[in-house]
Amino acid sequence: MKIICIGRNYTEHIAELANERPKDPVVFLKPDTAVLLKGQPFFIPDFSQDVHHEVEVLVRINRIGKHIQPKFAHKYYDEIGLGIDFTARDVQQQLKEKGLPWEKAKGFDGAAVIGKWLPKSQCSAVDALSFSLEKNGQLVQQGTTAHMLWGIDELIGYVSQFFTLKIGDVLFTGTPAGVGPVAPNDVLVGQLEGEEMFRIKVK
Ligand code: ZN
């Protein structure tokens, strides 16, 4: 199983990190060992002093496909989820400055939170899903997939030009504004369409 992630897919988040608006989606991968095991706390790795939460809508691929046309992309997933793309921001910043790949900042153990899955049929239109992240009971990130620069079906079309999508692959679709640091004892709760999708303790 592979984890394909999209960076810079919401305008306000691009602005908060002072990034350029990309011409094409920014794509990176996380290894399967990045998945935070169910029921486990997230341990802040000792190589970072600034790990940020990025709440993101997830899609689980249920058919093998390559060069998928966006108009057919909806046939390749039937579950929607919510997760966190944990990012060692200080490490990422150093890598970015040198033009180096981001894996050390994004692909470490536990850096991919994958919450529960909802059948797509249970969601309203996938291009208007509302989601949020609370940290210790305070709302820190809130978004709607309506504000994506590239929608889910376009993203599937785009990434499948480069990578064959396989059953069980997970697509992280980018984070809205409000990313910020996590600290030991934080509790992170993600909601999609008003339903709790994960609850993570930070250690
Ligand atoms: Zn992200």
Please give the pLDDT value at position 17. Answer: 79
Distance from chain centroid for Cα 186 = 19
**In angstroms, what is the span from residue 45 Cα to ligand 1's centroid?**
18
Please give the pLDDT value at position 28. Answer: 97
In order of their start, the domains of the chain are: 3-201 (3.90.850.10)
Nearest to 13 by CA among 141, 203, 190: 141
Please give the pLDDT value at position 22. Answer: 81
**In angstroms, what is the span from residue 56 Cα to ligand 1's centroid?**
7
Residue that the structure tokens 């059948």 belong to? 119
* 15 pLDDT higher than 80: no
**What mean pLDDT comes out for the span 79-85?**
98
Please give the pLDDT value at position 196. Answer: 98
**In angstroms, what is the span from residue 106 Cα to ligand 1's centroid?**
8
Please give the pLDDT value at position 76. Answer: 98
* 99 pLDDT higher than 90: yes
**What mean pLDDT comes out for the span 148-152?**
95
Mean pLDDT of the chain: 96
**In angstroms, what is the span from residue 199 Cα to ligand 1's centroid?**
18
